[in-house]
Structure 1
Amino acid sequence: MPNKEIRSGKGKDKLKPSIRFKQLALSALINQQWLSDLIDQQRTKIPLSRPKVAGILTNNEKNILHKYRELRSDSERESLVNLMAHLTVFSQIPPKLRARLAPYAYFIILGPKRKIIEQGREPATVYFVLTGDITVTTKIWNSVKNKYIERLEYLSGPGEWLGEIDFLENQKRQQTFTSK
């Protein structure tokens, strides 16, 4: 019977809403995964900056790192090696190399917008980031403006090394590192 109604034109109005509802239900069922992901995305906040870390080192450890290596006692050297063993920054380094590196370790606090390493300079040190963010830029020549422009390469954060490649390969610094 529905076919006779459709042919005569009476049943078209009745069928349209039901067909539309079925299509809507079907598309909702198919896209259910995407709809649930959309709700999760709305609740997710994208961090624009890294969370602040209160402090990794104690004041005693900072005092040891502030001393010149000639003035450190044997117990201070030993505690420094133990400290380096527990920091994730130094986890990639073998224990023997960590022990040899410990006398050369120093702790410095840098303010914002301070150049740590400048492009084109000779390498003298390697830096390890304990807290904070470092912007890594490269100077490139802009022929339109006839001057060098700094281009942001990436952001470096806690647990990363700075300037180790240039130091190991004994070449001039390829990038500028600035505290954020």
Structure 2
Amino acid sequence: MRRIKDTAERKRIQRLRALFKKAVRIVSLNNHWVETEHDDDQKFSFNVQRNVSFLVRTNRRKAGLLTSAEKTLIRIPHKFRTIPERKKLCSLFSKFRCFVGISPKLRARLVPLVRLLPLQPGRIVIRHGDFPMTVYFILVGELHMLRGKTGNEVVAVYGPGERVGGAELLENRERTRTFRTASNFIALRFDKKIN
């Protein structure tokens, strides 16, 4: 009877080890979601458990995701934000890939003008033929660019870190494509003011 228990326990331990190794392989292959801004003194080693805990540490976060406190801060009207909150938003925006090509001065000027826009899949964000008034800075999710007014053919896919709608706004011409959300979608929305 003892031998049977030992065999069953040994098989259970082997299955758990195999599962752990599989998890480590998956994390290693898919670590592109981990930010690369780690300290130089914290290096990878041959200790797998240490590497895994380093990669999935709770203070590391997926690029583009916002905490509830940051979402709340963005939703507060600009006139009610304190100076430290405005500075915090400027530093937060500097971390987003969609603002990388924008100068810090212009980014600071955009802070009071952008609004948080969460949408469900299947929503039309930009419609062909509309007058351009909005630019979207994508934080999370995908946006499909469709051909024509009512076309369902996907021409391109836009994702986190990209901007949509800026060209027509700058050129002051009507929209030439339709954009539809493909997944849960969060973006920062800049609306042009009409004089």
Q: TM-score range by the shorter chain?
A: 0.5 to 0.7
Normalized per residue, the structure richer in helix is 1
Q: Tell me the residue number matched to 1:155.
A: 157
Query: Under a length normalisation based on structure 1, what TM-score does the superposition of the two structures give?
Result: 0.62
Rate the CA distance shift 1:129–1:55 in 2: closer, same or farther, 3 A: closer
Q: Tell me the residue number matched to 1:104.
A: 113
Q: Deviations over 1:101-155 (max 9, x none)?
A: 1111211210010111111111111101111111101216xxxxxxx54432111
1:114 is the counterpart of 2:114: no
Deviation at 1:54, TM superposition (A): 8.8
How many residues of Structure 1 are paired with residues of Structure 2 in the alignment?
122
Q: Deviations over 1:142-174 (max 9, x none)?
A: xxxxxx544321111111101010111111111
- Tell me, in whole angstroms, the C-alpha distance in 2 between the residues paired with 1:128 and 1:134: 11
Larger radius of gyration: 1
Query: Secondary structure at the residue paired with 1:65?
Result: helix
Query: Secondary structure at the residue paired with 1:171?
Result: coil
Contact 1:137 1:154 in 2 (8 A): yes
Contact 1:66 1:108 in 2 (8 A): no
What fraction of aligned residue pairs are identical, expressed as a percent?
36
Q: Tell me the residue number matched to 1:95.
A: 104
Mark the runs of 5 or more structure 1 residues left unpaired by the alignment.
1-50, 141-147
Query: Secondary structure at the residue paired with 2:117?
Result: coil
Deviation at 1:67, TM superposition (A): 1.9
Mark the runs of 5 or more structure 2 residues left unpaired by the alignment.
1-32, 34-61, 183-195
Q: Tell me the residue number matched to 1:171.
A: 173
Q: Which amino acid aligns with 1:153?
A: V
Structure 1 runs of 4+ aligned residues shifted over 6 Å read none
Query: Secondary structure at the residue paired with 2:153?
Result: strand
Query: Secondary structure at the residue paired with 1:155?
Result: strand
1:63 is the counterpart of 2:72: yes
Query: Under a length normalisation based on structure 2, what TM-score does the superposition of the two structures give?
Result: 0.58
- Tell me, in whole angstroms, the C-alpha distance in 2 between the residues paired with 1:136 and 1:112: 14
Rate the CA distance shift 1:82–1:54 in 2: closer, same or farther, 3 A: closer
| Backbone CA RMSD of aligned residues | 1.9
- Tell me, in whole angstroms, the C-alpha distance in 2 between the residues paired with 1:94 and 1:129: 18
Matches within 5 A, 1:22-33: none
- Tell me, in whole angstroms, the C-alpha distance in 2 between the residues paired with 1:170 and 1:75: 36
